Amino acid sequence: MTHVFDGFKLLGIAFCLFTAVVNAYAEDADLAKLFQERTVVGTIVISSFDGKTTYIHNDSRAEERFLPASTFKIPNTLIALEEGIIADEKEIIAWDGQDKGWNEWNKDQSLETAFPLSCVWFYQELAKRVGNERYIRHLQQIHYGNEQTGSDVTTFWLEGDLRISALEQIDFLKKVSAGELPYTPAHLAILKQLMIVEQTPEYIIRAKTGWATRVTPQIGWYVGYVEAKGTVWFFATNLEIAKKGDEKFRQDISMEALRMKGIL
């Protein structure tokens, strides 16, 4: 009888564990509606700092790895600072005078200007100075995505071999927020300041967009975290940019989802 009772207990525990896993990644119908209304394919993950509460749409896509595009500027900034490639957020790298495709990029840049502008040439110059060997070491140390670069050190996050999932973006951002990365606190402080996209008395949003335009389908990202009401919430959105105008849905969906869940 004891063995039978123990068996039932084990079955009960297994069922509870299974239920917890299912609930953690259960499809959120309200979040799904945000994508359906805009007729875009994508995923969003919203997670509390302790991971006990997670809202998700399209869990299979949330586990799928994609090019990080300009969201890689988050670790890239830390790597460049840590390696002494650039001293701080104000150090200038001179524009070479060649048209970079956008007037805002056609000028001297610093981290302070290049990060919010997603200035490709600035970060490509940093990448040349960092070099592939050091990138591989850093990617492995911080467990960023698949930890791979590829043949071109100046484009591996745009069209190379580097890939990361929405769930992995969340994990990485939690380490950024908590300072659990092998980087100098002063450098983390610079990054966190650069990441601020909105600040009110009620909340701070630190985030970065990304747009992989050199692949088909194009991939759009918006990742970051919200400090509000004495806690921190993390989000990662990616979607296919199939037509002109879809790119704006990266932020639109993310912000509406955060409001929907009472985070903002």
Which residue of the set 47, 60, 70, 177 is catalytic? 70
* C-beta separation of 245 from 54 below 8 A: no
Report the C-alpha gap between 48 and 84 in whole angstroms. 33
* C-beta separation of 54 from 79 below 8 A: no
151 is catalytic: no
In 3D, which of 71, 176, 66 has the Cα closest to residue 118? 71
* C-beta separation of 107 from 119 below 8 A: no
Residue position matching structure tokens 């150090």 = 91
Is 200 buried (19+), middle (13-18) or exposed (0-12) by CB count in 10 A? exposed
Three-state DSSP class for residue 253: helix
Report the C-alpha gap between 124 and 166 in whole angstroms. 24
Roughly how many angstroms between the first and final C-alpha of the chain, as a whole number? Answer: 54
8-state DSSP, 222: E
Alpha carbon 170 to its chain centroid, in Å, reads 7
- List, by residue number, the catalytic residues: 70
